[in-house]
Amino acid sequence: MAAVRDCVDTMESQATSLLQSLPEFPMDEGLRATALELSAGLRDASGRVMFELALLQTEIGEGKANAAIAVQRLSAMDALMMRAVAGMAEASDELEKAAERDEQYEPAFVVVIEATGVLMQGIEEAKVATGKLKAADESRSGR
């Protein structure tokens, strides 16, 4: 759960940073709108995952959720975050093409690709941690 929490915290901070910085960079208005929309989607996804994580933690504390349920829910959270970041990866591709045509667009591309890389790394760490929990649960239960 800590890895997912770290990832969602990173997602929230990256989304906020992008929403603040992207309006400042020269870029095609269509790409700007897309990047801002996707950044808002990151923030929305982080809020939903944080809510689900808090709910899961409460359910575990109350004995209403076991490790198998936790793995299932954490996997769904990982997937939700991945879907949000996938859109940013696509936007990065479009920003890269724009930067190749006009170098003034390069700063926007760099900011988006760096944020996307940080987020992908965080999601990978969360997925690995969820996988370890799943393996431990399966080992303990003999599956």
The model's pLDDT over 67-94, given as tens digits with 9 standing for 90+, comes to 899 999 999 999 999 999 999 999 999 9
Domain that holds residue 111: 2-141
Which residue type sits at 1? Answer: M
Q: Residue 107: which CATH number?
A: 1.20.1440
What pTM did the predictor assign?
Answer: 0.88
Q: Are 88 and 119 in contact (CB under 8 A)?
A: yes
| pLDDT value at 142 more than 80 | no
The structural domain count of the chain equals 1
Q: Are 71 and 116 in contact (CB under 8 A)?
A: no
